[in-house]
Amino acid sequence: MSSTVHRPRPRRSCLAVPGSNPRFLEKAQTLAADQVFLDLEDACAPAVKEKARHLIVDALNTGDWTGKTRVLRVNDWTTHWTYRDVVTVVEGAGQHLDCVMLPKVRDAAQIKALDMLLTQIERTMGFEAGRIGIEAQIESAEGLVAVEDIAAASQRLETLIFGPADFMASIGMKSLVVGEQPPGYPADAYHHILMRILMAARSHGLQAIDGPYLQIRDPAGFAEVAGRSAALGFDGKWVLHPDQIAAANEIFSPSQEDYDHAEMILDAYAWYTSQAGGFKGSAMLGDEMIDEASRKMALVVVGQGRAAGLRRTTVFTPPTA
């Protein structure tokens, strides 16, 4: 399997939009989130799920989602809703949909089942085969234990998503504030979970996304929790309120300083490894020794910075003597 992200769509901020609420479906189109996911699961009451499917079809077909990754979150396979969620929305609006998000994934078979259903719908409808991706939510102990198999289950997979609320309930973590550290534990209670998801994602070329922070009136709390997964290498985080969008976009983009530095490393390394630079394998950039591994690290940051629309503010000048 490749170790690079093969279909990277921007996902720094992934906005949850209840599928049953036409006002939110309208408003979401105007917000600066990289991704929107139109929700048929937990943000949608059982009595209105049927109606919400049709509202989502309409919003996808007639709305202006330019520049956004468009995702449908269906109900999980233990309910009786999943197949109709997929069939109604993908048949009705599949050409305007980028991914289907599957919640509470427990094993690889659940991903394969969704993959097969999507394939049948694509064939029936004459849609491009395999274009619609899958996002898998890891939000139980079972899901985490099977995360490597899940990550390998389908070519359609694009992301693994940590679902902290359901996860905390699944393991009995003693905190009711989603994403916050449980009182009484002296270290980071999420480190193992986040790293395990990140490793499974990266070893299969997938993005890793952090789930929601429910204290929507606490920007400092959001920044702290988002900063934790961003620091590890996660690609983005869910946002539940318009106020969290700008923060997520910033936290999951490199700083201007890091971006400039990464561009300098690429230029310097290219020059030193060329004839003009004497075909050197490693060289000094200021006080820093750079080599092929530095180039790989810089490439990641440069890719993120360019995707975020940053412009470099420094120029590499080769040494004269």
Residues lying near Mg ion in the complex (CB under 5 A): 139, 163, 166
Residues numbered 103-122 forming contacts with ligand GLV, rule: CB under 6 A: 103
CB 37, min distance to Mg ion, A? 12
CB 211, min distance to Mg ion, A? 7
Q: Write the single-letter amino acid at 97.
A: L
- The answer to whether residues 276 and 321 touch, using CB atoms and an 8 Å cutoff, is no
189, 195, 200, 203: CA torsion to nearest 10 = 180
Tell me if 165 contacts ligand GLV by CB under 6 A: yes
- Please name the helix (run of DSSP H) or strand (run of DSSP E) that holds residue 237, with its range, or none: strand 236-239
212 binds, among Mg ion, ligand GLV, none (CB under 5 to 8 A by kind): ligand GLV
Q: Which part of the chain contacts ligand GLV (CB under 6 A), choosing from 161-169, 186-194, 287-295, 311-319?
A: 161-169
CB 137, min distance to ligand GLV, A? 6
- The answer to whether residues 176 and 214 touch, using CB atoms and an 8 Å cutoff, is no
164 binds, among Mg ion, ligand GLV, none (CB under 5 to 8 A by kind): ligand GLV
| Total interface residues for ligand GLV by CB under 6 A | 9
Q: Which is nearer to ligand GLV, 115 or 139 (CB)?
A: 139
Residues numbered 13-72 forming contacts with ligand GLV, rule: CB under 6 A: none
Phi, psi of 306 (to 5 degrees): -65, -40
- Please name the helix (run of DSSP H) or strand (run of DSSP E) that holds residue 252, with its range, or none: none
Residues numbered 210-239 forming contacts with ligand GLV, rule: CB under 6 A: 211-212
User: DSSP string of 118-147?
Assistant: HHHHHHHHTPPTT-SEEEEEE-SHHHHHTH
Residues 6+ apart with CB under 8 A from 245: 13, 15, 31, 32, 33, 239
**Could you say which of 139, 180, 235, 267 contacts ligand GLV (CB under 6 A)?**
139
Applying CB under 6 A, which residues contact ligand GLV? 103, 137, 139, 163-166, 211-212
